[in-house]
Amino acid sequence: MRRTALLASAALLTGLLPLASAGAAAGADEPAPVPVDAFEGEVPFANPPADGIFTWGSDTDDPPQLALTARADAPEGAKVLTGSYDISGYGGFTHDFASGLPAHDWSTHKGIRFWWDGQNNAKKIAFEIKDGGANGEASELWTTSFTDDFTGWKQIEIPFTDFTYRTDYQPVGGIDQVLGLTQMWGYAVTLPVGLKGKFAMDDVELYGKADQSLRASVTTDSAVYPVKEGGTAAVKVSVATTGAAPIDEPVTVAYESAGGTAESGTDYTLVKGEVTFPAGTASGTSRTIQVPTLKDKSAESAETIPLKLTVAGAKAPTETPQVVIDAHGLPYLDPKLPVQKRVADLVSRMSLEEKAGQMTQAERGAVTTQGDIATYDLGSLLSGGGSTPTPNTPEAWAKMIDTFQLRAQATRFQIPLIYGVDAVHGHNNLVGATIMPHNIGIGATRDPQLAQKTGSVTASEVRATGIPWDFAPCLCVTRDERWGRSYESFGEDPALVKSMETIIQGLQGAASGKDLKDDDKVLATAKHFVGDGGTVYGSSTTGSYTIDQGVTKVTRQQLEAIHLSPYQTAVDRGIGSVMPSYSSLDIVGDGQGPVKMHARADMINGVLKDRMGFDGFVISDWAAIDQIPGDYASDVRTSINAGLDMIMVPYAYKDFRTTLIDEVKAGRVSESRVNDAVSRILTQKFKLGLFEKPYADTSGAAQIGSTAHRAVARQAAAESQVLLKNANGVLPLKKSQKVYVAGSNADDLGNQTGGWTLTWQGSSGKHTDGTTILEGMRKAGGDVTYSKDASAPTSGYDVGVVVVGETPYAEGVGDVGNGNDLDLTPADKAAVDKVCAAMKCAVLIVSGRPQLIGDRLSAVDSLVASWLPGTEGDGVADVLYGNRPFTGQLPVTWPKSESQLPINVGDTSYDPQFPYGWGLTTLTKVPQGGSATLKGLEIAARIAEKAGSAEAGRALVTKARLLVQQKIGSAITAATAKPFADADHLLLTGDYAAAVAKLTEAYRAG
């Protein structure tokens, strides 16, 4: 049934209802109310883009439970919409109109109203309408709220003029940022947080007649107009109407330059006058007001000239536009001066309030009033995982960030924002970006040059959207695969992690920072300092997490050797920022017990800054100072005094800034500590060239997701594949073979990209551009049949490929014991069992960590650790079909059982399924020989070591490793595994002869 027919029948029904249920009678010159929802069952519970009502929330518990309930007291008809909720984050429901039908025209009405069954809980209920765009999920969002401070049914009337444009989760820059009302796609209700509640709602309808004073608005093309001293600012004033109809009556805009920090007659010429838009003026018509500024010979900070607008006949702009005379002539603005001098000059001029603002970082979605950027002198904004503009395009990202940067130009010294994002495996928040394998896969490549290339691609795509700062790389050394962040690590061996830190140069360029200003480089962040990969299972106190954010208990020697050493490498490579860990550090024998890393001055000030010589700035993790024991003031002073320079306070930026100022004034945080923090932050802003070029340089945007960039990701995906077993040479496949493909992860782009992809936790299914493993196999020319659950007949095939593994997760949500384990799902097990019983088979495990498969290993001919290969499934197909050889090696130990965990290279007791460093090859020639050959390789390795020839040394060890693997085959024992794993660690530390000696030991035990 067409939506128009539904509306017509509902309107007829409304006309037959008594006045008490239909609402107040319409005046003679007013249109009749138009029903939107009667809740009698005419609209289904569904999901967009179909016409329907659907729920949403921040986690699985937050969406409300909805029903259509028959009630005798229903204001309209027999049924009402009822619901119950218990929301900890956010939650609510939406009615999106069908995108296959025309949008609705609400422009002839005054507003929208509905009946609400009051619970008198004094909570605000947010009500939102959706304007323009292609459908309800790609439309502008306009919002208002009402307070539930009554009992029983009450009709809530909301004039359309009460709705304000949302500045978060929007098509940034908007479709037009005017509530047009001619193309409406539905509404949404956001329910209260923090209490168990119920609600009932009925009869959503349009009411009243729109008149000009309600439907016309005056806007300006910007809120801030920077202009060089002596220049003239042009303020464009426009009139717009809902429905885009011409105005019926004149609209006048009186303007006057008044107030601000600039002086009339000295800094600018006073302007005063009136602009009139006559009756009949088309919606969207503009007039320009000129504000001339004056030149003098003195150097000055920026000065503001508010342009006061008084509007008659329409709604006035929500903000007073400000002309800003740019700061000029001051030393810090001179790009020819050394950065150190520029920083010193600027810091000497700043107030405590301005310094505190520079130390504050807010989530962009929290800054609903963009004027707060200047009001609070904010130094930084970020996008958390999934915090993206709509539409999620490079252009929208750049426009959003430019809008924020423009606001910073209204501050006294026009200090640009530094915008940060978690681009941890490519620009993973952006649809269409090149998504690399997660770090665990990069570690498996053992290819430092490739790691650097992946960093370069990421930096290029991130900077092309206006973002100069990346919260990556993670330098954690993962020591327990029950940890939900295991895949963020390059591996369990600090030597491997250090070898992959070439990615820092890919992101930042030269260690000196001289390349940071380039349009394809970003500031990198080493995280999470220090020990986040070593937390003890069961030690977490964060919600239902079991290991993430827990306690790392180590000796001083273990701390130095395992967890700290990668940070010295990062400092030597010029890392620009460091992020401490949520976890606590408990150093045996130091008498402190477990202390949150954000509070450990001995590690941040003492080790990182003083001993290691780190000269960048330290940024806290998301709201992490809240986990420090004590009240908020204590959290602030403890973290700042411990050495944190900028605090990520996503939603508490006002409280943090005020508290920090109070702590300094009270003498509990020294001014010298604040000056040091601000100097470190400003140094990186100057190096990034933000003072000269604060806005997005989108010249590289055409390369986002390009063939060249995807080629790097494809190579990384191919080199990350680790061949663990290959009985009877099942791999590589031949294109002539008939291949039966099954398994949950064969054709799921979301599963193969994992967490931290478009959203924090990631999601299954197709959510961005890329190629699944199945698609890659087909593109490679294979004769492939696909049956996800292996339900299709299995006869007549030469070989089966079963792709199984995990679904996406991130951080503690993925902890084993928090609803997760290391076993394959029953469906995956069934697919493996069925296919491998019917034919020769290869099993690929797509996962962020090893999966337990020992009980099925004997039935599997070939086993591949595919990790999380990213968007380029072609790379996996490349090695499956022999276009590239398998060369990957295990970056972590593959356990036999969960009871073995934690298990790591170097352990005294070491009996894994597959040892660290294991990785068979499909090279055409595997080295042959025995003990004599290995002895010769050891001698040659010693010579290469003495000569300083790392390339020759690595080649000799690799030859020995492949020879030993050939002999051991699947008969891996504790006697062979331990020296084999130790050899790979020795290789990474440059002890080539010792590595060959260990491999010889493994050979003799095999």
- The rounded distance, in Å, linking the Cα atoms of 605 and 638 is 12
Predicted local distance difference test score (pLDDT) of residue 15: 33
pLDDT digits (tens, 9 = 90+) for 511-531: 999 999 999 999 999 999 999
Hey, CA dihedral for 633, 635, 639, 642, is it positive or negative?
A: positive
pLDDT band at 297 (very low <50, low <70, confident <90, very high): confident
- List, as one string, the DSSP characters of 262-303: S-BTTTB---EEEEEE-TTPPTT-EEEEEEEB---SS-B--E
Six token digits for residue 481: 């695969």
CA atoms within 13 Å, Cβ hemisphere of 384: 18
One-letter amino acid of 255 = Y
**Cα dist. 704→427, 433, 502 in Å?**
9, 6, 22
Six token digits for residue 814: 């993925």
Predicted local distance difference test score (pLDDT) of residue 28: 53
- The rounded distance, in Å, linking the Cα atoms of 110 and 98 is 24
Which residues have CB under 8 Å from 157's CB, separation 6+?
111, 113, 207
Q: How many residues are there in the chain?
A: 1006
Within 359-448, strands assigned E span 360-363, 380-383, 418-421
- The rounded distance, in Å, linking the Cα atoms of 765 and 771 is 12
CB 236 within 8 A of CB 218: no
Which residues have CB under 8 Å from 122's CB, separation 6+?
147, 148, 149
* Mean pLDDT value of segment 113-131: 96
pLDDT higher than threshold 80 for residue 13: no
pLDDT higher than threshold 50 for residue 6: no
- The rounded distance, in Å, linking the Cα atoms of 859 and 829 is 12
Q: For residue 289, what are the β-bridge partners?
A: 235
One-letter amino acid of 824 = L
Predicted local distance difference test score (pLDDT) of residue 1001: 98
* Mean pLDDT value of segment 88-106: 93
The bridge status of strand 799-805 relative to strand 34-37 is: unpaired
694: Cα separation from own chain's centroid:
22
* Mean pLDDT value of segment 272-276: 98
Q: Which residues of 900-932 are buried (b: 16+ CB within 10 A; e: fewer)?
A: bbbbbbeeeebbbbbbbbbbbbbeeeebebeee
Q: What percent of the chain has pLDDT over 90?
A: 88
* Least confident stretch, 46-60, 815-829, 869-883: 46-60
pLDDT digits (tens, 9 = 90+) for 444-470: 999 999 999 999 999 999 999 999 999
CA angle 878, 883, 884 (to 5 degrees): 80
pLDDT digits (tens, 9 = 90+) for 23-73: 344 455 788 999 999 999 999 998 877 899 999 998 888 999 999 999 999
Predicted local distance difference test score (pLDDT) of residue 138: 85
* Mean pLDDT value of segment 737-745: 98
CB 124 within 8 A of CB 193: no
**Cα dist. 305→66, 231, 291, 316, 415 in Å?**
52, 13, 9, 18, 18
pLDDT band at 172 (very low <50, low <70, confident <90, very high): low
Predicted local distance difference test score (pLDDT) of residue 45: 94
CB 425 within 8 A of CB 720: no
pLDDT higher than threshold 70 for residue 899: yes
Q: Strand, helix or coil at 19? A: helix
pLDDT digits (tens, 9 = 90+) for 471-495: 999 999 999 999 999 999 999 999 9
- The rounded distance, in Å, linking the Cα atoms of 397 and 404 is 11
Measured from the Cβ of residue 769, the count of other Cβ atoms closer than 10 Å reads 14
Predicted local distance difference test score (pLDDT) of residue 14: 34
- The rounded distance, in Å, linking the Cα atoms of 468 and 516 is 9
**Cα dist. 378→468, 621, 883 in Å?**
16, 17, 52
Nearest of 519, 523, 474 to residue 500 by alpha carbon? 474
pLDDT digits (tens, 9 = 90+) for 538-567: 999 999 999 999 999 999 999 999 999 999
pLDDT digits (tens, 9 = 90+) for 195-221: 899 999 999 999 998 877 777 899 999
- List, as one string, the DSSP characters of 362-381: EEGGG--STTHHHHTT--EE
Q: For residue 146, what are the β-bridge partners?
A: 125
Predicted local distance difference test score (pLDDT) of residue 56: 93
The chain-wide mean pLDDT, for the chain, equals: 94
* Least confident stretch, 244-258, 346-360, 743-757: 244-258
Q: Helix, strand, coil: what percent of the chain each, to 5?
A: 35, 25, 45
Predicted local distance difference test score (pLDDT) of residue 168: 66
CB 725 within 8 A of CB 862: yes
Nearest of 447, 968, 530 to residue 981 by alpha carbon? 968
Nearest of 281, 288, 145, 158 to residue 212 by alpha carbon? 281
**Strands laid side by side in the 322-325 sheet:** 224-227, 322-325, 303-312, 251-257, 272-277
**Residue indicated by tokens 């954000």:** 598
pLDDT higher than threshold 50 for residue 19: no
CB 920 within 8 A of CB 959: no
Which residues have CB under 8 Å from 843's CB, separation 6+?
743, 801, 802, 803, 804, 832, 836, 853, 856, 860, 862, 863, 864
Which residues have CB under 8 Å from 667's CB, separation 6+?
none
Q: Which residues are catalytic?
A: 621, 811
Q: For residue 554, what are the β-bridge partners?
A: 587
CB 85 within 8 A of CB 64: yes
pLDDT band at 882 (very low <50, low <70, confident <90, very high): very high
Measured from the Cβ of residue 61, the count of other Cβ atoms closer than 10 Å reads 12
Predicted local distance difference test score (pLDDT) of residue 177: 74
Angle of helix 992-1005 versus helix 931-947 axis, rounded to 10 = 170
pLDDT digits (tens, 9 = 90+) for 961-983: 999 999 999 899 999 999 999 99
Nearest of 426, 422, 424 to residue 714 by alpha carbon? 426
Predicted local distance difference test score (pLDDT) of residue 171: 61
Predicted local distance difference test score (pLDDT) of residue 635: 98
Hey, CA dihedral for 188, 192, 198, 201, is it positive or negative?
A: negative
Nearest of 188, 761, 700 to residue 397 by alpha carbon? 700
350: Cα separation from own chain's centroid:
32
* Mean pLDDT value of segment 126-144: 92
pLDDT digits (tens, 9 = 90+) for 609-667: 999 999 999 999 999 999 999 999 999 999 999 999 999 999 999 999 999 999 999 99
